[in-house]
Chains A and B, each alone.
Chain A
Amino acid sequence: MHPLRITILGDFWDCQIYRGRLYLWTMDGRLLTYKWDEFIESLCVEKELRLALECGFCRGDYLYNPNFELLFSDHEIVKVLKLKFEELSKRTFEFQIKDLDKYLYGEQENPLKTLCADSDIYNNHLYVATDFGLWQTSVHRRSKKYPVSSKPEKVWDGRLLSLKSSSNGRLALSAGDDGLFEFDINDRSYFKNTYLNVEFKKIERNLFQLNKRHSFLSNWNYSSIYSTSNVDESYMMLFGWGKNEMKEMELVYKKLLNESELFQLSGNTNRSQLSWGCDNKIYKTSISGGIDVIDYTQKYVLEEDTPAFTDIQHIALQPWKGDVVSGGVAYFGVIIECENALVVMQDDNDFFNIPDVATRWRTYPRSRRYENHLHVISEDRLDVYSFNHDYFRSQEGKKIGIRYREKIQYNQGYRK
């Protein structure tokens, strides 16, 4: 099943989508905020394709609704829905940036006045990694002059390569040879107690260095962090929730596991290219072109009897399109950034190749309504892809892509 696509032509650097608004950073120093949902509503399609269009681009959660389970057990209904997505995927939606003027909520100078290494949004706040540190500023503001606050606050001086927020307000920070750090957005005391007990290095009030080893990419496997390195061995820092003497829930650091320890049972002797994790999945590519998959179960992390890591499987594939340089995971599949292309391995065993070399790509698995999006910025455009095959597949036992679970809202942290 092919994804849907909307192309917006322009010279962009970064993008985010959050609570009905699309944020676009331009190379000439502007930040444009668009009313995304209204823009999607305005697209001309036949009435029969409206459902697929809305679900595809602004209601990604709709068809995941467990109430539709009975409906989706009817193959004829599924067939009809799939046909609608297939039909829409053949349409071309290409726009010049000026075509979106009508849906422009606000245009402002980039508040950071520099192009960022990475960004993320959590609980109406934008977190930005720049050459001169980590910054935060508020987003989704009413002001049309400044939809994003023009007064960012500096969180930390450290230079970062990437950052990723968890669903409950922890920010994983990769700082290359300076190591892996964590910033607790909500400044909770129990994090500090845990971290001081295990002697993580305290950098700021709610910012700790978790490990000195190289990290260029990090992501959350629920409460644990997978740190990816392209010069050293990648590793996973295992955290779980336990009860303290007062019977209060507390975060517990268990241990660090190296990539080689994690994958030792796979029997795959192929030299690893790169590994990364997210939620219940850890992936490792090998030079031969295949990919190893491990299933991770967070609730067993503190238990000795039940293994937290199971189902190591190897999926043989054609050789990659150049070296694998980075990766990600979404519900709809695994995203593999190769030297010369972006490859999406879909859960329906299909592949989708994006031949352009991406300047940046983003998925939004922690979003409430855009979890099926893949945004790809290349030299002269932003392509918004919408993958929709995953609605029709069982979420249990998925090898490719993370398992969809109904989202619990932690302190409004989930992206709406």
Chain B
Amino acid sequence: MLLDVPINIDTTSKYVIVSQHRMHGYSDKSRWLASMKEEVDCFIQSLNKKWLHVGAGWGVILDDANKLKVLGVNYVNENSKIAKFVDGNNSNLWHGYPADLKRKVKDIPPISILNKWRGEKIIKKHHISRIQRGVTCTL
């Protein structure tokens, strides 16, 4: 896997691992800590499970104990366990980054996706509420 080079996911979708969200030195960008393979797998899961909403998707990485794994950090180095994926030009060319739920309202997953995660026992009801209210939430 190479940085900034589109990878074919299926017949219609491509995914780019963006260097700005991988390398140090971009002070306003969140940064992946998960491996590049984990990042792509996280996106594929989001696509397959239809964790999508109006040109954006959200994903998580679960560890062996089925707990949410830290997948990156925001620009002030706080851990993030939720990824956001964006189809920037509505052309099925996606990229993703660790979401900053407290600082960026647009990074908050919609309630429909949070509710699906509750259904899959990934998060609990109070997590949904805290995420949606922008309240500090330890996942």
Report Cα–Cα, A56/B4, bound state, in Å. Answer: 63
Number of A-B contacts (CB under 8 A): 75
B60 → A minimal CB distance (Å): 19
A159-B105, A161-B105, A231-B103 known; A339-B136 Cβ under 8 A? yes
| CB of A117 within 8 Å of the partner chain | yes
Residues of the A chain whose Cβ atoms lie less than 8 Å from the Cβ of B62: none
Q: Tell whether A194 is near chain B: CB-to-CB under 8 Å.
A: no
| Choice from B105, B111, B126 contacting A379 with Cβ under 8 Å | B126
Interface segment, one of B6-14, B37-45, B91-99, B127-135: B127-135
CB neighbours of A118 from chain B (8 A): 133
Contact between chains at A231 and B126 (CB < 8 Å) = no
**How many Å from the CB of B108 to the closest CB on chain A?**
8
Q: CB-defined interface of B99-116 with A at 8 Å, one 1/0 digit per residue?
A: 000111110101110010
Assembly CA distance A217 to B135 (angstroms) = 9
Query: B126 to A131, Cβ gap below 8 A?
Result: no
Q: Which of B104, B111, B130, B136 contacts A176 (CB 8 A)?
A: B104
Q: In the complex, are the beta carbons of A177 and B104 less than 8 A apart?
A: yes
Name the A residues within 8 Å of B103 (CB-CB). Answer: 176-177, 214, 231
Question: How many chain B residues have a CB neighbour from A under 8 Å?
Answer: 23
Residue B138 at the chain A interface, CB threshold 8 Å = yes
Docked CA distance A360–B112 (Å): 18
Cβ contacts under 8 Å, A358 to chain B: 126
The minimal Cβ–Cβ distance linking A116 to chain B, given in whole angstroms, is 8
Digitize A214-234: 1 where CB-to-B-CB distance is under 8 Å, 0 elsewhere: 101100000000000011000
Going nearest first, the 7 A-B pairs with the smallest beta carbon separation are: A176-B105, A216-B134, A161-B134, A325-B136, A359-B126, A359-B129, A357-B126
The residues of A with any CB-CB pair to B shorter than 8 Å are: 11, 13, 27, 114-115, 117-118, 130-131, 159, 161-162, 174-178, 214, 216-217, 230-231, 322-323, 325-326, 337, 339, 357-360, 378-379
- Residues of chain B having any CB pair with chain A under 8 Å: 102-106, 108, 110-112, 115, 124-126, 128-130, 132-138
